[in-house]
């Protein structure tokens, strides 16, 4: 029995699994542990992707033998473009490992739509060409509303990209159209690349696009298995 953790900036995704099946999963590990779930005592391995170091000690207090992944110079045919590979967020590295393992020898664009919005490009030789780190949907909206006095909008979102005819739709559609146009621009630059989307806002991003992309909710967790195999 194995526990896999994707510790992000705002949530900790987890799944309890073996090499064949997923038994339980969730988005709030600490909340789950507070209820003393049955599986804590039977977990044999704990694999962790973490970009939230403050939670690492909490995880180790419950699972002292937890193993933490780190970004690498190269692994299984994928190479890192960072001069200091360990400075790349491990979630980005694991997501790229997952897609390269799934479909090697072709270019890929990997987008993680979470608290931050990241985009990484892999060429057909498995080389990470480079990437971007930008504010995510919610961060853009919070920044806009917090930095203006007369732009008022609800926290909820109106899905769409059309020109807005009230402040709410102007804000929501404007942010969503900007992100979608950005992705479509990179698709045009890499027409042979397969587009992969993951992250908490990934489904929303996919719904904004007219062309097909691959949405995989657990790319980071999938990458953990490649990393530790």
Q: Do both 87 and 58 map to the same domain?
A: no
| Domain end call among 53, 68, 83 | 68
* Domain C-terminal end among 68, 93, 112: 68
Domain end residue (candidates: 15, 41, 68): 68
Residue range 180-203, pLDDT digits in tens:
999 999 999 999 999 999 999 999
Same-domain pairing of 132 and 104: yes
Kindly state whether residues 132 and 217 are assigned to the same domain.
yes
Q: What is the CATH number of the domain that holds 103?
A: 3.30.420.40
Domain that holds residue 206: 74-228
User: Do residue 40 and residue 134 come from a single domain?
Assistant: no
Residues 177 and 105 placed together within one structural domain of the fold: yes
Q: 54 and 152 share a domain?
A: no
Same domain as 221, residue 131: yes
How large is the average pLDDT for residues 155-178? 94
Task: Based on the fold, state whether residues 55 and 110 are members of the same structural domain.
Answer: no
Query: Residue 21 to residues 5, 18, 83, 228: CA-CA distances in angstroms?
Result: 16, 6, 37, 17
Same domain, 87 and 44: no
| One domain for residues 183 and 210 | yes
Q: Read off the pLDDT of residues 108-139 as tens digits, 9 standing for 90 and up.
A: 999 999 999 999 999 999 999 999 999 999 99
Rounded to a whole number, what is the largest CA-CA distance in the chain? 55
d(CA 151, CA 181): 23
For residue 120, with 0-12 CB atoms within 10 Å meaning exposed, 13-18 middle and 19 or more buried, which class applies?
A: buried
Check whether residue 54 and residue 129 sit in a common domain: no
pLDDT surpassing 90 at residue 225: yes
Cα 1 to Cα 109: distance, rounded to the nearest angstrom: 32
Report the alpha-carbon distance of residue 93 to residue 114 in Å, rounded: 15
Residue 211 confidence (pLDDT) above 90: no
Backbone φ and ψ for 135, nearest 5 degrees, come out as: -65, 145
10 confidence band (pLDDT: 50, 70, 90): confident
Tally of domains in the chain = 2
Radius of gyration of the chain (CA): 19
1 Cβ neighbours under 8 A, 6+ residues apart: 16, 17, 18, 23, 39, 42, 43, 44, 45
Same domain flag for 127 and 55? no
Which residues are part of the catalytic machinery? 91
């Amino acid at each position: 029995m194995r526990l896999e953790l994707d510790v992000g900036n705002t949530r900790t995704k987890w799944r309890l699994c073996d090499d064949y099946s997923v038994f339980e999963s969730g988005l709030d590990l600490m909340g789950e542990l507070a209820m003393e779930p049955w599986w804590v005592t039977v977990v044999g391995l704990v694999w962790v992707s973490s970009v939230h170091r403050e939670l690492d000690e909490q995880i180790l207090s419950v699972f002292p033998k937890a193993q933490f992944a780190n970004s690498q110079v190269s692994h299984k045919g994928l190479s890192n473009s960072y001069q200091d590979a360990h400075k790349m967020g491990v979630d980005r590295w694991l997501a790229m490992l997952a897609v390269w393992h799934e479909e090697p020898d072709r270019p890929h664009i990997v987008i993680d739509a979470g608290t931050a919005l990241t985009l990484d490009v892999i060429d057909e030789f498995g080389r990470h060409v480079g990437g971007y780190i930008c504010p995510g949907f919610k961060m853009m909206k919070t920044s806009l509303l917090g930095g203006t006095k007369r732009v008022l909008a609800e926290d909820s979102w109106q899905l769409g990209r059309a020109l807005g005819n009230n402040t709410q739709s102007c804000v929501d559609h404007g942010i969503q159209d900007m992100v979608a146009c950005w992705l479509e621009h990179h698709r045009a630059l890499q027409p042979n690349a397969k587009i992969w989307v993951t992250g908490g806002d990934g489904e929303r991003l996919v719904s904004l696009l007219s062309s097909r992309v691959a949405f995989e909710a657990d790319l980071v967790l999938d990458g953990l298995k490649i990393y530790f195999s």
